[in-house]
Structure 1
Amino acid sequence: MEQFYDIIKQLIRIPSVVGAEHPFFLFIKRELEEIGVSVEYYDGVLVAKGDKPGSGYLSSHVDRHGLICTGHNEFQYAAYIAKNRADLTGTSNSEQILHNFTMRFVDEKVQAYEPWSGTYLGMGIIKEAFLCTRRNNIIFKVDGFEYLFPGTPIAFMDKLVFQDDLISAQLDNVISVAIIIYMYHKGYKGTAFFTASEEAGKSWRFLLEYFRRFAISTNELLVLDTSPYSSLEDIQNLDVILRHRDQNAAFKSPLKNTIKKIAIDNNIKYHFKDAYLKNIMKQTGIKGSLGTTELGRIIQATKGEIQGTTLQIPTIGYHTVNETCYTKSVESMITILSKLYLEDAK
Structure 2
Amino acid sequence: MLSTDFIDLLKILIRQPSVVGAEHSFFRVLQRELEERGAKVMWYEGVLVAQGHDPFSAMFSAHIDRHGLVCTGPNEFQYAAFVSANRTDLLNNSVSEELMSKVTGRYQQQPVFAYEPWSGVYRGKGVIKKSYVCEYRNNLIFEIDGLNDVVAGTPIAFEGTLKIKDGRIEGQLDNVLSAAALVHMFSLGFKGTAFFTAQEEAGKSWRYLLEWFRRFGGSTNKLYVVDTSPFPNIDAANEQLLVLRTKDANALFNASSTESLAQLCQRNQFSILYKDKYVEANNAKLVAAGETAKSIGSTEMGRVIAASHGLVDGTTLQVPTTNYHTMQESAAIESVDAFLQILMQLAE
Q: TM-score range by the shorter chain?
A: over 0.9
Partner of 1:304: 310
Q: TM-score, normalised by structure 1?
A: 0.95
Count of residue correspondences: 341
Identical aligned residues as a percent: 47
Instruction: Tell me, in whole angstroms, the C-alpha distance in 1 between the residues paired with 2:40 and 2:165.
Output: 36
1:253, distance to aligned residue in structure 2 (A) = 4.8
In the aligned structure 2, how far is the partner of 1:62 from the partner of 1:114? 17
| 1:216 CA drift (Å) | 3.7
Q: Which residue is equivalent to 1:330?
A: 336
Question: 1:34/1:297 Cα in 2 relative to 1: closer, same or farther (>3 Å)?
Answer: same
Structure 1: gaps of 5 or more residues: none
From 153, 156, 161, the equivalent of 2:155 is 153
1:238 paired with 2:240, answer yes
Unaligned runs of 5+ in 2: none
Work out whether residues 111 and 124 of structure 1, in 8 Å CA contact, stay in contact via their aligned partners in 2: yes
Deviation at 1:267, TM superposition (A): 1.0
How far apart, in 2, do the equivalents of 1:87 and 1:132 lie? Answer: 10
Distance between the aligned counterparts of 1:304 and 1:91, measured in 2?
30
| Equivalence for 2:256 | 254
> Partner of 1:248: helix, strand, or coil?
coil
Report Cα offsets for 1:123-171 as digits up to 9, x if no partner: 1000111111332211111011011110000101110111121110000
Cα distance change, pair 333–215 in 1 and its aligned pair in 2 (3 A): closer
Q: Is the CA contact 2:321–2:329 (under 8 Å) kept in the aligned structure 1? A: yes
Counterpart of 1:337 in structure 2: which amino acid?
L
Map of 2:106 onto structure 1: 104
Q: Hey, what's the Cα distance between the residues in 2 that align with 1:157 and 1:87? A: 26
> Superposition pairs for residues 58-207 of structure 1, below 5 Å?
58-81=60-83, 83-85=84-86, 90-93=91-94, 94-207=96-209
State the alpha-carbon separation in 1 of the partners of residues 72 and 27 from structure 2: 24
How far apart are the structure 2 equivalents of 1:98 and 1:9? 25
CA distance in 1, matches of 2:87, 2:229: 21
Alpha-carbon distance in 2 for matches of 1:14, 1:89: 28
Q: Compute the displacement of 1:225 (Å).
A: 0.1
Structure 1 residue 237: Cα displacement = 2.3
Q: Which amino acid aligns with 1:340?
A: L
CA distance in 2, matches of 1:87, 1:182: 38
Deviation at 1:257, TM superposition (A): 1.8
Q: CA RMSD in A?
A: 1.5
Which of 50-59 and 280-289 deviates more? 280-289
Partner residue in 1 for 2:30: 28
Q: CA deviation at 1:255?
A: 2.5
Give distance in 2, aligned partners of 1:129 and 1:287.
27
Tell me the SS of whatever aligns to 1:145: coil
1-side partners of 2:308 and 2:267: how far apart? 33
The 1:129/1:89 distance shift into structure 2, 3 A limit, reads closer
* Alignment deviations for residues 199-229 of structure 1 (CA, whole Å, 9 cap, x no partner): 1111001111111122544342000000000
Q: Which AA in structure 1 matches 2:277?
A: A
Distance 1:275 1:251 in 2: 13
CA pair 224-169 structure 1, distance change in 2 beyond 3 A = same
- The verdict on how the C-alpha distance between 1:126 and 1:11 changes in structure 2, with shifts beyond 3 A counting, is same
Question: Residue 77 and residue 86 in structure 1: after superposition, are their counterparts in 2 closer, same or farther (change >3 A)?
Answer: closer
CA–CA distance in structure 1, aligned partners of residues 255 and 297 of structure 2: 19
Q: CA deviation at 1:89?
A: 7.3
Give the 3-state SS of the residue equivalent to 1:54 in structure 2: coil
Out of 28, 36, 39, which is 1:37 matched to? 39
